[in-house]
Amino acid sequence: GEHGLDGDGQYNGTSDLQLERMNVYFNHASGDKYVPRA
């Protein structure tokens, strides 16, 4: 999925840079799920 997310909102990318970008665009929710910032 986009930004290394699968359909359940779980991050499955392998790049640290990609993960840093995730933290810009998403809030890290409980259970290692990412939710788009509104």
* Phi, psi values for residue 15, rounded to 5°: -95, 130
CA angle 3/24/30 to nearest 5° reads: 80
- The per-residue pLDDT for 27 is 66
pLDDT tens digits, residue range 3-35? 667 777 676 666 666 667 766 766 666 666 667
Task: Please name the residue that has the structure tokens 């933290």.
Answer: 23
Give the structural domain span for 32: 2-36
As given in the structure block, the two tokens for residue 9 are 């909102």
- The per-residue pLDDT for 25 is 67
Structure pTM? 0.24
- The per-residue pLDDT for 10 is 72
- The per-residue pLDDT for 7 is 72
DSSP symbols for 20-34: HHHHHHEEEEGGGEE
Number of domains in the chain: 1
- The per-residue pLDDT for 1 is 52
